[in-house]
Amino acid sequence: MLYHLYELQHATISPLRMAADASKKWLRNPVNPLSYTHQGRAAAAAFDVFTHITHRYGKPEFGLDTTVINGETVAVTEEIVHSEPFCNLLHFKRETDHLKNQPDDPRLLIVAPLSGHFSTLLRGTVEALLPDHDVYITDWIDARMVPVHQGHFDLDSYIDYVMQFLRKLGPNTHLMAVCQPSVPVVAAASLMAAGNEPCQPASMTLMGGPVDTRENPTEVNNFAKQHSLDWFERHVITHVPLPHAGVMRRVYPGFMQLAGFMSMNWDKHVSAHHEMFTHLVEGDGESADAKRNFYHEYLAVMDMSAEFYLQTLKAVFHEHQLPEGTMRWQGVPVEPSAITKTALLTVEGERDDITGMGQTRAAHKLCANLPDNMRMHHIQKGVGHYGVFNGRRWREQISPRIKDFIRRHDQQGKGRKSAPDMTRIEAAE
């Protein structure tokens, strides 16, 4: 009934939202004398904020139409190069035919998090990496849009997708995991290394990922640990209702995830919307649009399959299977110690309140047989979770280090140069 009540609430409030939108437009119409008064602007701003917070947002666009390579503007087109029921492998194809010097940039697969938001949350991540890399990304599909006959999707399926995509892209592909994918990405690299596959990644960058949540556990980690899997199944798992294509699929709904996200920083979100209201009253459209654009992305959420959500809770947060050495993929042991050919870079944010300091760095201990000149750890001071892969410090301090690390370990380059010794942990202001 949970999903049905949500749909009923959305349908019930739709007429109010339409009335508010019409009122907002009328109060801002130049022929209306009220549009020139403080009261009129305040009322219009209130209607604007109401329509904003009650709107249901679909999947946003990446909107990355161009990039700059060696000072020249290059067109970018999106193309799906491989499809699975729950994910598309999306390529940001750079139209470089007109360039005098053709770029020979490293091929990079970004594994986007499957934790409630669409892969477009990494728009800033992709944008910063496009000038120097041939970028692909996992574009996860909303589980409510996948018909039941397409089968199930769990953590094993996730790992299988990553390995399939790496084989599709071929040898010397670099791998990046942002937050949640860190565990399945390490698992995929481990399995491919154990099989000595030619397509095992050349490098692996883990950013703010919960490799070992026993290190400096956060509020999110503690909440997951304090409740049983049965509790989660009873309280947050429901069936997709009509008219969605995935009707009767068991999911962890996006609106439940969004409620969890916002409850962690409720005061901050209330303050942000009050500021938006103030900006609108004062006529500061630029500042209001900046907040509106952020929330268009933040409020756009997707459902996750119940089996993936519950299996991830069990493997990552309850049993810590990867660091404990008990993780299995379709019955096959996952052994990170098998990794010897994939360079490892881990990145953490000093103020990360979702993935605590040390949780991502734990991957180095697991990849015990990796030489020191193939590993590096970076701590970015002054940033929280989202600052690890978005924002000014991502662009100016984190992404340049990642680009250098990938270049250093690209097998089509001039050969491997010595990376910083693991004992020289980088921490940037």
pLDDT digits (tens, 9 = 90+) for 74-86: 999 999 999 999 9
Checking if the pLDDT of 90 tops 60, the result is yes
In DSSP terms, 78 is beta-bridged to 92
Position 261 confidence tier, pLDDT thresholds 50, 70, 90: confident
Residues 157 and 13 in one domain: no
Give bridge partners of residue 93 from the DSSP assignment: 77
pLDDT one-digit tens code per residue, 399-428: 999 999 999 999 865 443 433 444 334 554
Alpha-carbon 162 to chain mean position: 15
Q: Which of 52-61, 158-167, 384-393 has the highest mean pLDDT?
A: 158-167
329 within a domain of the structure (yes/no): yes
- Residue 284 pLDDT more than 80? yes
Confidence at residue 262, expressed as pLDDT on a 0 to 100 scale: 83
* Domain membership flag for residue 419: no
In-domain check, residue 423: no
Q: Do 171 and 22 share a structural domain?
A: no
224 and 330, same domain (yes or no): yes
The answer to whether position 163 is within a domain reads: yes
> What CATH number is associated with residue 93?
3.40.50.1820
**Do 29 and 79 fall into the same domain?**
no
Q: What percent of the chain has a predicted confidence (pLDDT) above 90?
A: 81
Judgement on whether residues 195 and 48 belong to the same structural domain of the protein: no
Q: Do 44 and 75 share a domain, yes or no?
A: no
Q: What is the pLDDT of residue 420?
A: 42
Tally of domains within the chain = 2
Residues 236 and 100 in one domain: yes
Q: Is residue 79 domain-shared with residue 51, that is, in the same domain?
A: no
Residue 345: predicted pLDDT: 98
- Flag whether 167 is in a domain: yes
Please check whether residues 133 and 188 belong to one and the same domain: yes
Same-domain pairing of 266 and 389? yes
Are the CB atoms for 383 and 351 separated by under 8 Å?
A: yes
Q: Which DSSP letter does residue 314 get?
A: I
Residue 418 counted as domain residue: no
Q: Residue 98 — very low, low, confident or very high, per pLDDT cuts 50/70/90?
A: confident
**Of 296 and 164, the one with more pLDDT:** 164
Do 364 and 319 fall into the same domain? Answer: yes
- The three-point CA angle 56-80-85 to 5° equals 65
Whether residue 413 is contained in a domain is answered as no
Mean of the per-residue pLDDT values for the chain?
92
Kindly state whether residues 49 and 75 are assigned to the same domain.
no
Summarize pLDDT for 118-147 with one digit per residue, the tens: 999 999 999 999 999 999 999 999 999 999
Residue 249 lies in a domain: yes
Domain that holds residue 259: 67-406
Q: What is the dihedral of CA 346, 351, 352, 357, to 10 degrees?
A: 50
Residue that terminates a domain, selected from 55, 80, 101: 55
Tokens coding 182:
């860190």
- Please report the pLDDT score of residue 413 as a whole number: 57
To the question of pTM greater than 0.75 for the whole model, the response is yes
Residue reference for tokens 């649009």: 289
